[in-house]
């Protein structure tokens, strides 16, 4: 994972299922979405039954399990699990229990922000109403202007035009997410720069994993 990918955070970056580049690495399939010189990364990992992936403590990790079941030690993580592992944690291995396991990883290099370990089973957690009708939000992490959440859009939901201070990063978990710049089906990832503006909506409905406020100006 040393080659830089979508490293320029001043430009919109989009990876769709149709143009995603997967490589074989350590018995897994890896799709690098973002790899920057400062060490920050975003990537997808696909494992078959019996496959595994080892994580080191070189940065804070956010992991979202999109499908399948993972095992670490004696702990099972089911679909929808969100893990937050801070830098300095003991290295660990995630093992695939099912035939097809897919998870998203966000590696952040701490910039004075201290994160605590966390686990949220989003399939069992509660949603709260969003800012407009048809929108539901599940906060996952928030500190120092940086936020991570799941956002669920009912079919036909339209959000008001807005800007993102510190940028925005979106992974489409299900359905189809849209804005004036494009259409993003399930499995799509995009990153918008600091102070970028858009008018998002979803005709079909969708659920997205969203990070905001985490990119340098």
CATH homologous superfamily for the domain 128-212: Jelly Rolls (2.60.120.10)
Mean predicted lDDT score pLDDT of the chain: 93
Four-point Cα dihedral 121, 123, 127, 130, nearest 10:
100
pLDDT of 27 reads 85
Parse the chain into domains and list their residue ranges. Answer: 19-121, 128-212
CA neighbours within 13 Å on the CB side: how many for 14?
A: 14
Four-point Cα dihedral 109, 80, 141, 46, nearest 10:
10
Judge whether 56 and 85 are in contact, CB under 8 Å.
no
pLDDT tens digits for 103-148? 999 998 776 666 788 999 999 999 999 999 999 999 999 988 899 9
Distance CA 171, CA 179 (A): 14
Judge whether 7 and 34 are in contact, CB under 8 Å.
yes
Range from 3-7, 100-104, 136-140, 154-158 carrying the lowest mean pLDDT? 3-7
Burial of 208 from C-beta contacts in 10 A (0-12 / 13-18 / 19+): buried
pLDDT of 1 reads 46
What kind and span of H or E run contains 174? strand 168-179
Judge whether 130 and 158 are in contact, CB under 8 Å.
no
Burial of 217 from C-beta contacts in 10 A (0-12 / 13-18 / 19+): exposed
CATH number given to 19-121: 2.60.120.10
Q: Give how far Cα 124 sits from Cα of 6, 79, 134, Å.
A: 34, 11, 20
Per-residue pLDDT at 216 exceeds 90: no
Per-residue pLDDT at 22 exceeds 80: yes
Distance CA 84, CA 134 (A): 28
Q: Give how far Cα 198 sits from Cα of 159, 166, 177, Å.
A: 9, 14, 12
Mean pLDDT of the 1-24 span: 91
Tokens for 110? 């701490």
Q: Give how far Cα 177 sits from Cα of 30, 189, 197, 206, Å.
A: 23, 10, 16, 6
Asked whether the domain spanning 128-212 has the same topology as the one spanning 19-121, the reply is: yes
């Amino acid at each position: 994972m040393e080659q830089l990918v979508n490293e320029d955070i001043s430009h919109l970056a989009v990876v769709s299922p149709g143009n995603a580049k997967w490589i074989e690495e350590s018995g897994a399939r890896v799709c690098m979405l973002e790899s920057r010189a400062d060490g920050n990364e975003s990537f997808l990992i696909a494992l078959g039954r019996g496959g595994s992936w080892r994580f080191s403590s070189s940065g804070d990790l956010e992991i979202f399990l999109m499908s399948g079941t993972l095992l670490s030690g004696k702990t099972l993580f089911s679909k929808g699990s969100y893990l937050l592992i801070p830098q300095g944690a003991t290295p660990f291995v995630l093992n695939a229990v099912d035939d097809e396991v897919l998870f998203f990883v966000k590696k952040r290099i701490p910039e004075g922000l201290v994160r605590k370990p966390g686990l949220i089973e989003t399939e069992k957690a509660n949603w709260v109403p969003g800012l407009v009708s048809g929108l539901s939000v599940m906060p996952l992490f928030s500190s120092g202007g940086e936020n991570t959440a799941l956002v669920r859009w009912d079919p036909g939901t339209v959000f008001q035009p807005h800007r993102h201070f510190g940028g925005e990063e979106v992974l489409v978990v299900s359905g189809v997410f849209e804005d004036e710049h494009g259409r993003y089906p399930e499995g799509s990832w995009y990153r918008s720069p600091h102070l970028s503006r858009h008018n998002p909506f979803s005709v079909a409905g969708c659920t997205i994993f969203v990070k905001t406020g985490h990119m340098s100006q």
